[in-house]
Chain A
């Protein structure tokens, strides 16, 4: 019974929000009732998403408390819980200092991970030919190299004639842009059908038992 009710609510909400996007104005040129309903539902969704973050953080705590109990790499978990506690306390006592935490701790850590990404991607590119030794992989690597050569000027030499002014713009603005648009059209169609499957109640990522 619960699944019938939750499906009915989800489908009705989805249809109303979708209709609110298409029927924005009434005959008098004013915002339609569907637009107003859409805005109300979206506001509710934002409030729920905010509360979901709280639930998510409780979940994060549960995961790491369990890791500490099981003595499974517990040092990282202790560090996470202590950091979370300090951040929470600081936010309560001095909310203005939150930005300092983000710029002095969060940003440098994430920037270091971004730097690590450069090494990871370079290594992945080298392994690509070993993993999938085919024409597509070779085209992929040659294109990446040409774009890199065309983007970064060589020391003391500057731009490479032909690569920087002809090949790179042609690849980036013609071939890559066309390919990217094709992929994005495919993604858009996939998104549309996924959304419709949920509106039809076929995919139900809610409501427990099915």
Chain B
């Protein structure tokens, strides 16, 4: 037995799932073309430079707990990290992942280990995936040390942050390195817009997988979001008109 809200929620999830599957098949036949997001082009260049000059890539996943909705941006970050770890596998040093949540640390270690095995790198360093602090500011303080001390030249900050992300972007700026940053948190997004070299705003965080060519379902998920966005716009407009006419 379902209530009205449960039915609405189930319908949205079901429609999204059908769209994902359908659009991924369409994408295989004729790849979708997405708008250009300059931040991802510059990320590719920065990753190339990391491999060339033997420095390190640093991915920071924020402090969103895995059992909460805030973890979705970190999961998107993990997906991006996996792809970037594969791309930098030819480099001298493996990427470093920092996080402010223990479960994310374990997942990041797992991703780095998988990437290392895939590239047949002999040694996997378990502390390449590290917990830097359990509160937002202790996490930021610990991550700043990584940005300064680990021969990092490219940084990706993607996950659930608060305004403390400004301390991280400032640390990157002082090192004169590349930073791409995105968060699901509104306060963090405004801070990132003001302080990061390459900010990702809104749903652009979740588009990362599609832009680094992680697979057809990533591309399909972007198109599914577009379709659902149009549906929501239509519902809002119809609702507004009905409300103006005192029908709703």
- B: contact size bracket: 35 or more
Complex alpha-carbon distance, A54 and B134, angstroms: 11
Residue B130 contacts which of A27, A46, A63 (CB distance < 8 angstroms)? A63
Complex alpha-carbon distance, A129 and B131, angstroms: 34
Chain A binder among B12-20, B41-49, B239-247: B12-20
* B78: chain A residues within 8 A (beta carbon): 203, 205
Question: Number of A-B pairs whose CB atoms are under 8 Å?
Answer: 211
Complex alpha-carbon distance, A73 and B16, angstroms: 50
Chain A binder among B27-35, B50-58, B105-113: B105-113
Binary per-residue interface labels of chain A (59-83) against chain B in the complex, 1 for a CB within 8 Å, 0 otherwise: 1101100100000110010000000
- Grouping DSSP codes into helix (H, G, I), strand (E, B) and loop, the A interface class, with mixed when no group exceeds half, is helix
B217-A202 in contact (CB<8A): yes
Shortest beta-carbon distance from A121 to chain B in Å = 5
Kindly name the residue among A48, A187, A206 whose own CB sees the greatest number of chain B CB atoms within 10 A.
A187
- Grouping DSSP codes into helix (H, G, I), strand (E, B) and loop, the B interface class, with mixed when no group exceeds half, is helix
* B173: chain A residues within 8 A (beta carbon): 127
Cβ-closest chain A residue relative to B67: A45
A208-B114 in contact (CB<8A): yes
B residues in contact (CB < 8 Å) with A: 1-3, 6-7, 9-10, 12-13, 16-17, 20, 65-67, 69, 72-73, 75-76, 78-79, 82, 101-103, 105-107, 109-111, 113-114, 117-118, 126-127, 129-132, 134-138, 140-142, 145, 149, 163-164, 166-167, 169-170, 173, 184, 186, 189, 191, 193-195, 197, 201-203, 205-207, 209, 215, 217-218, 221-222, 224-225, 228-229, 232
Going nearest first, the 10 A-B pairs with the smallest beta carbon separation are: A190-B206, A56-B102, A186-B203, A124-B195, A193-B221, A56-B131, A191-B72, A52-B102, A186-B202, A110-B137
